[in-house]
Amino acid sequence: MSMGGGNMQEAARAGAPRLTVLDGLRGWAALCVTCSHIFWGIFGDVVPLFKNVATGVFLNGLFSVMLFFVISGEALTAAYWAKPERRAIWKLAVKRYPRLAIPVSVACVIVALLIAVGLVYNRQAGELIGNTWLREFPTETKTIGETVSFALFYVFYKPFIDFSIIPFLWTMRTEAIGSIVVVLFLLCERFISQKKTVLAILAFIAIATGTLSGCFFVGMLFALMRREGLFDWHGQSHANTALAIAAIIVLLIPPSYLMLQHHELPPLLMLVAAVCCLLIYSDVHISAFLSNSLSQWLGKISFPLFLMHYAVIVTFTSWAIVQTSLDSLAPQPVYAGIALTSLALAMACAMLFVPVEQFAIRFSHATWRLFEKYILDPKLPAPSAPA
């Protein structure tokens, strides 16, 4: 995903306007994923008000993840389309791994330490409220080697390995594959005359086969369309905005129903995510909302929120469930209060985690400068003067 905003900053530096709408959409998507895990995934069975078709429209975490991937495809290519040169591709490739790996590694170390000191209670909590999903989250102490190897390698390659630390990070494998897909396409794009057509075909094939990294093709296609001004045809009336919002809600009802039946169809979610993005990008009022201060703040904490809410779930949320459910299930308002407090705590932890992401951005910049200096443009020693 490009879940952080670093690539939008790159686009701005390359000459493209900063796409604040992507930052805002990323922020709301991260909030949706967090709320989906807390309200629907953990408390949905003990607080029925949280788990129904209506709430599923707004709490569809997998749909929000698809949005992340579409956003990544556009964010990663915006700088290149603003200034198409081979150096921009190298810059993207070099910076991508540290940009993701540093925040992911810190989050994994935090959770591994919480497990090691015995502060995770998800197994007991899952038993008490009959939640298999919560009960099966990892609770085994990890060795230093397992923690390091998972955080730096396996999370991007085999996230469900036996010594997995944060199950929610299965998305990082798709981020890694999608990033490679973006780089390869950009390296070949000079040989492709009908870029939008090719991207549309690739996106169609990926959606039809349920290949999640295909969302990156959709994002790349949107980046080209935005560069050519194809999102500028939107109307200015509030009626158009109302119709767009209504269309998005209607599109999300079938996935919500399927989610309630424990059937999630990735192809359907990918298609709905693509169409919803089109509706959002093409509406001036929705775009303005996603560019306001609240949306931008959510965008700023989006990646930290995605990374840190798992730690809150297996510690505070689970501990609170244990404390209130030892004898019998607590009243529904108690669980609702725990859920709301968990969300607030997750957002607070995300704010505290922001400096880690900012360090990752600075480190990725420094990595690129070193690569540029010593690999791309090495300064050869000046020839010695003849004797």
- The structural domains of the chain, with segments of one domain joined by +, span 6-372
pLDDT of residue 1: 46
Under DSSP, is residue 312 helix (H, G, I), strand (E, B) or coil? helix
pLDDT of residue 382: 59
d(CA 69, CA 177): 11
d(CA 34, CA 308): 10
Are the C-beta atoms of 107 and 152 separated by less than 8 Å? no
pLDDT of residue 161: 87
DSSP 13-73: HHTSPP-HHHHHHHHHHHHHHHHIIIIIIITTTTSGGGSSHHHHHH--HHHHHHHHHHHHH
Alpha helices, DSSP H, located in the chain:
6-14, 20-35, 53-58, 61-82, 86-116, 122-129, 132-135, 144-149, 155-157, 171-188, 195-209, 215-227, 238-260, 266-281, 284-290, 293-300, 302-312, 318-324, 332-371
Are the C-beta atoms of 50 and 339 separated by less than 8 Å? yes
Give 10-residue mean pLDDT values along the chain (387 residues): 53 55 96 97 95 94 96 93 90 96 98 97 96 95 95 94 94 96 95 95 95 95 91 75 95 94 88 95 92 96 98 98 93 97 98 98 96 81 60
d(CA 336, CA 258): 24
pLDDT of residue 3: 56
Distance set, CA 66 to CA 5, 111, 298, 350 (Å): 17, 25, 18, 21
Q: Is the CA virtual torsion 358, 362, 365, 370 positive or negative? A: negative
Distance set, CA 297 to CA 9, 24, 30, 65, 290 (Å): 15, 8, 12, 19, 10
Q: pTM here?
A: 0.92
Are the C-beta atoms of 42 and 131 separated by less than 8 Å? yes
- CB atoms under 10 Å from CB of 375, counted, come to 10
Cα-Cα end-to-end distance for the chain: 59
d(CA 167, CA 160): 7
Distance set, CA 68 to CA 112, 136, 152 (Å): 26, 26, 21
Angle at 95 between CA 89 and CA 97, to 5 degrees: 115
Are the C-beta atoms of 213 and 181 separated by less than 8 Å? yes
Q: Which amino acid is present at 101?
A: A
Are the C-beta atoms of 18 and 291 separated by less than 8 Å? no
DSSP 57-124: HH--HHHHHHHHHHHHHHHHHHHHHHS--HHHHHHHHHHHHHHHHHHHHHHHHHHHHHHHTT---HHH
CB proximity list for 149: less than 8 A, separation 6 or greater: none
